[in-house]
Amino acid sequence: MKRTVMLAVATLVLAGSALAQKTTPPAENINPHHHPNLAAAQRMCHNAYEKIVAAQHANEWDMQGHAQKAKELLDQVNAELKLAAESANKAK
């Protein structure tokens, strides 16, 4: 019984690590020639995401889900930045 529980826990830890590593940083897809400020904000978002991943590695992924939530919010920020650039393009 104890061995089965240990095996189940080990499997969950490995699966969680694989899912955490599978996420990709936000795209950098805003043209810096057309929207330099939005492109700079997008780069900063990408850099912040990478720093969070580094923090997760340094803390052995034990951040109680807060780092993952921050990465998800950065993905939302990135999507809004792209929409802002597209809206500005339509307004021209």
Alpha-carbon distance of 26 to 42, in angstroms, equals 8
For residue 65, is it left (φ>0), alpha (ψ between -120 and 50) or beta? left
Contact 85, 38 (CB under 8 A): yes
> What does the domain layout of the chain look like in residue ranges?
25-91
pLDDT in tens, 14-67: 555 545 555 788 878 899 999 999 999 999 999 999 999 999 999 988 899 999
Q: Which residue has the higher pLDDT, 69 or 28?
A: 69
